[in-house]
Structure 1
Amino acid sequence: MPKVLISDQMDPKAAEIFRANGVEVDEKPGLTKEELKAIIGQYDGLAIRSATKVTPDVLEAATNLKVVGRAGIGVDNVDIPAASAKGVVVMNTPFGNSITTAEHAIALMFALARELPQADASTQAGKWEKNRFMGVELTSKTLGLIGAGNIGSIVADRALGLKMKVVAFDPFLTPERAVDLGIEKVELDQLLARADFITLHTPLTDQTRNILSRENLAKTKKGVRIINCARGGLIDEAALKDMLESGHVAGAALDVFVEEPAKQNPLFGTSGFVATPHLGASTTEAQVNVAIQVAEQMSDYLMRGGVTNALNMPSLSAEEAPKLRPYMELAQELGSLVGQLEGERITGVSIEVEGAAASLNQKPVTGAVLAGLMRVYSQTVNMVNAPFLAKERGLDVREVRHDREGDYHTLVRVAVATPDGERSVAGTLFGNAAPRLVEMFGIKVEAELKGEMIYIVNEDAPGFIGRLGTVLGQAGINIGTFHLGRRAAKGEALALVSVDGHVGADVIGQIKAIAGVRRVKALRFGG
């Protein structure tokens, strides 16, 4: 009988579900790190919330651990690379908190509009300052959503019910999806200039970090009010403080901070500022939902081998795993390739399989493609939630199965629709196990997509390879493998170069300056 430890406070329904599925469970919230390390070796599963820190040394002591289940979305308290190295599956429950978080954002918007926290404090102090607190109505105001995915779309629905006008900036939001939601898709600068209220609903990635920077905050309408219930780090906190003090920003309400727990912060005490201690998921309903979900997912894995909402491995049944795993690895690499190169320009994706691949279950392959494609924007995307995220954003996804056999015994092709037309990449399996790129944007090129790579499009001309090698050599960057392809002699050529180590923006700039180079981009695969 598998044995699970619940090490954080969790709704009692979680333990009930474990036991009903034949899993032994111990509930021991509040353990110190040393206490956890002393007993974790007894357990096959660890169910947590945000208090337990699953660090490398905890994982080292977890000699029997097979799965960590996080009842909630964020997994900042789990060292996922270390868990992967130990062969431990990490799961989360990405949709259990959506309504609760959206409602908290709406609550904070009301709090800012009517200065409720300040008015409460004043009234309870016996001041009765009725004329001091002059609020604003939400009706007819413009709400700007930065991020219109699952939570953002719920906020939009509630705001429309309040008779607000909603505009949204989201690279994945299509015009068709915007129409369905009843909102207007705009660029970020347009949103900043038009919004009376701005609320953020996007993950923290390299693309979204400080999306409300000092420069962007200066572009906002004077008197704007800002809400963040998503992730700390999306807003430059020092710049926000200055904008509040100057009066350019009329109010700000944050539920999340760069450093948490936020027992000290420069924003505290600033006029017009409202803070809550990361309460986005703190409702009775949300706590029950995530507890039930994590217990069901972990039980399914421990008893039947099913993997759901896994962040570090494909989600699939135990029976399909051996055949599908190499195909999913190939599919994820192809999706990551087009995602990194085309990004927000993608409006649709077609996943085509032929040969031996056509006889397999295509859904996991499609999920792997979408997980790879969107990972450049969200590190929490996985094979289970990727199709839902794509649908929410109106991304047209098609699956095509060909019975024909072509040049390869098995082939997976990923074609994406962009404003410039269709762009496709294709790959196969060598020895039915090793994923390999064989075609890229109509050019035959064979490459293993792994680690750090440089993608280059250039004019096919003598001396290019030598000049490229010189630039990399002078930068101290060692070339691992070099893959070339071209449409025709003296025509367009491309190179995929794997390198040892990170390629910085300065090196990319030097490569761009080489005569005949049309495009350069650093790529990263795996990890």
Structure 2
Amino acid sequence: MAPKVLISDKLSPAAVQIFKDRGIDVDFQPDLGKDKDKLAEIIGNYDGLAIRSATKVTEKIIEAATNLKVVGRAGIGVDNVDIPNASKKGIIVMNTPFGNMITTAEHAIAMMFAVARQIPEASASTHAGKWEKSKFMGVELTGKTLGVIGAGNIGGIVCQRAVGLKMKVVAYDPFLSDERATELGVTKVELDELFARADFITLHVPLTDTTRNVISAEAIAKMKDGVRIINCARGGLVDEAALAEALKSGKVAGAAFDVFETEPAKDSPLFNLSNVVCTPHLGASTTEAQENVALQVAEQISDYLLTGAVTNALNMPSVTAEEAKVMGPWIKLAGHLGNFIGQMTDEPIKAINVLYDGVSSTMNLKALDCAVVAGIMKKANPDVNMVSAPVIAKERGVKISTTTQDQSGAFEGYIKVTVVTEKKERSVAGTVFSDGKPRFIQIKGINVDAEVGEHMLYTTNEDVPGIIGTLGGTLGDHGVNIANFTLGRSNSGGEAIALLYVDDALSTDVLKALEATGKFKQVKPLTFDIA
């Protein structure tokens, strides 16, 4: 019997035809997603569900979806899908993260032109019957320096387009390799240098704790007078109030924003400023982009239902059901190892080397590699998944290599991850115990035995007396409870490390207090998803 797919949102007729051409029984009801009761009533009849944003795949829908195997979202955002409950029920959730890259990049370029030549204001003035030719004096893009913050998928396209416009392009991206920068035709710089050199600045990074308000009052003070700022990435990357003040003072000559801290944006400090261009989150709003994501989701759902191939899954590695039973804990371990080393590494990564020992070497290494790389990339991009992570790494010139070996030690098997940067190599190893729980067993070549916790503290120091007391006392003074405490050293009097599992996230005050003791070379808070 042919698989059955329901399309409950408005998708392109071409997407419907893809399902039909591939022998899938497709039911196209583009307005059904708005009727959650009706959707719950019939969803049990389908193997696949193709949606946009109108359909809400809630816990109730998932509970009623007795035969559902895959949900495909035409687009990148999946806030309308209850992924945890879908995962528990074995339903794969896919999206199409690469279908609107060109469209979003082009919108950023269009916004740059608009703010450079004051096009919206000039258009409104001319429509009003005025002829204010001398009022709207713009600037050329040719020869100007564009600072690109984030040179990944969309940022990379912006770089290439800007080079084609004869702009000088400088880029800041912790994962941008020298080789990739050369390929894009840009100069890789640190953030402060970008602020100092750029005539235009455009942002293309996700919103994380690290990137929130990356454009702040302090950052603006470091910029050239007359800089112009474009944000078509995420609201919250720019302190809108600080930017508004800089626009009023003339420090910033203009800004163009497609995204805002609060959306829908009914009010913003940037509104009603004559030197600001605003659009209502139109980055992906082109006919071509909407068509692309619809066709992609149809192909992806068809591939999975007909062949078992998994593409752009947000909640499942590319492994068979049989493999998943054995590999689940090892995939989690691989992600934790990658996440650990990603949080420890601030400089651009040139290579990722993964060693699989013993039982781990007999598994689906591609899936394990994806979990490692996704863990490493998660610091820079929380939305990264096991499918998109290797693509992002490749685009940024990161080389990934895998080595296998027979069982070589006391453990039945283990995984060791090493990252290579311009300055150093950094490694961490782990295994899965018989209880199915991942453990860290080696950091920087120093043997440890550490349970993985949601909130952890990593420190390095010289092997001298009193470290345990200092750690325990300082954390105790700040009300931090320790769940697990692991120590290791290279040799007596040599380098020593500590890895602590604590009950709650560590505050800045705690970290500063530890640093103030003068006993630690490094104090680093770590977080892991242990769900």
Q: With structure 2 as the length reference, what TM-score do the two structures score? A: 0.92
Is 1:187–2:190 an aligned residue pair? yes
Map 1:139-288 → 2, pairs under 5 A: 139-288=142-291
User: CA offsets, 1:342-397, max 9 Å, x none?
Assistant: 23353321112232333333222211110000101111111111111111112222
Is 1:6–2:17 an aligned residue pair? no
Partner of residue 49, structure 1:
52
Deviation at 1:199, TM superposition (A): 0.9
Rate the CA distance shift 1:359–1:84 in 2: closer, same or farther, 3 A. Answer: closer
Q: With structure 1 as the length reference, what TM-score do the two structures score? A: 0.92
- Return the alpha-carbon distance in structure 1 between the equivalents of residues 88 and 489 of structure 2: 38
- Return the alpha-carbon distance in structure 1 between the equivalents of residues 39 and 291 of structure 2: 27
Deviation at 1:281, TM superposition (A): 1.0
Is 1:357–2:349 an aligned residue pair? no
- Return the alpha-carbon distance in structure 1 between the equivalents of residues 331 and 280 of structure 2: 40
Is 1:97–2:108 an aligned residue pair? no
Contact kept, 8 Å, 2:176 with 2:348, in 1: the verdict is: no
> Which of 25, 30, 34 is the matching residue for 1:28?
30
Rate the CA distance shift 1:220–1:124 in 2: closer, same or farther, 3 A. Answer: same
SS of the residue aligned with 1:446? strand
Amino acid in structure 2 at the alignment position of 1:353: Y
- Return the alpha-carbon distance in structure 1 between the equivalents of residues 492 and 462 of structure 2: 9
What RMSD, in angstroms, separates the aligned Cα atoms of the two structures? 2.5
Deviation at 1:329, TM superposition (A): 1.8
Partner of residue 17, structure 2:
16
User: CA offsets, 1:205-255, max 9 Å, x none?
Assistant: 111111111211222211111111111111111112212222221111111
Deviation at 1:473, TM superposition (A): 3.1
Amino acid in structure 2 at the alignment position of 1:431: S
Deviation at 1:514, TM superposition (A): 4.0
Contact kept, 8 Å, 1:168 with 1:186, in 2: the verdict is: yes
Partner of residue 116, structure 2:
113
Deviation at 1:318, TM superposition (A): 4.1
Q: Number of aligned residue pairs: give it.
A: 527
> Which of 435, 438, 463 is the matching residue for 1:435?
438
Of 325-334 and 40-49, deviating more is: 40-49
Rate the CA distance shift 1:448–1:122 in 2: closer, same or farther, 3 A. Answer: same
Deviation at 1:485, TM superposition (A): 1.4
Contact kept, 8 Å, 1:309 with 1:315, in 2: the verdict is: no
Is 1:405–2:430 an aligned residue pair? no
Contact kept, 8 Å, 2:356 with 2:416, in 1: the verdict is: yes
User: CA offsets, 1:40-87, max 9 Å, x none?
Assistant: 753554433234444556656656654432211233444544544555
Partner of residue 453, structure 1:
456
Is 1:476–2:479 an aligned residue pair? yes
- Return the alpha-carbon distance in structure 1 between the equivalents of residues 288 and 87 of structure 2: 31
Contact kept, 8 Å, 2:407 with 2:413, in 1: the verdict is: no
- Return the alpha-carbon distance in structure 2 between the equivalents of residues 498 and 369 of structure 1: 21
Contact kept, 8 Å, 2:5 with 2:47, in 1: the verdict is: yes
Rate the CA distance shift 1:23–1:437 in 2: closer, same or farther, 3 A. Answer: farther
Map 1:509-524 → 2, pairs under 5 A: 509-514=512-517, 516-524=519-527
SS of the residue aligned with 2:312? coil
Partner of residue 425, structure 2:
422
Amino acid in structure 1 at the alignment position of 2:359: A
Contact kept, 8 Å, 2:43 with 2:61, in 1: the verdict is: no
Partner of residue 371, structure 1:
374
Amino acid in structure 1 at the alignment position of 2:294: A
Of 172-181 and 51-60, deviating more is: 51-60
Rate the CA distance shift 1:249–1:62 in 2: closer, same or farther, 3 A. Answer: farther
Of 172-181 and 6-15, deviating more is: 6-15
Deviation at 1:27, TM superposition (A): 2.2
Deviation at 1:430, TM superposition (A): 2.5
Is 1:396–2:433 an aligned residue pair? no
Amino acid in structure 2 at the alignment position of 1:242: E
- Return the alpha-carbon distance in structure 2 between the equivalents of residues 64 and 82 of structure 1: 15
- Return the alpha-carbon distance in structure 2 between the equivalents of residues 8 and 409 of structure 1: 49
SS of the residue aligned with 2:345? helix
Of 510-519 and 439-448, deviating more is: 510-519
User: CA offsets, 1:168-189, max 9 Å, x none?
Assistant: 1111112221111111011111
Contact kept, 8 Å, 1:59 with 1:82, in 2: the verdict is: yes
Rate the CA distance shift 1:54–1:508 in 2: closer, same or farther, 3 A. Answer: farther
- Return the alpha-carbon distance in structure 2 between the equivalents of residues 38 and 281 of structure 1: 30
Contact kept, 8 Å, 2:7 with 2:26, in 1: the verdict is: no
- Return the alpha-carbon distance in structure 2 between the equivalents of residues 82 and 509 of structure 1: 39
Rate the CA distance shift 1:8–1:275 in 2: closer, same or farther, 3 A. Answer: farther
SS of the residue aligned with 2:12? coil
Partner of residue 131, structure 2:
128
Contact kept, 8 Å, 1:18 with 1:25, in 2: the verdict is: no
Partner of residue 338, structure 2:
335
SS of the residue aligned with 1:347? strand
Deviation at 1:90, TM superposition (A): 2.7
Deviation at 1:21, TM superposition (A): 4.6
Amino acid in structure 2 at the alignment position of 1:291: A
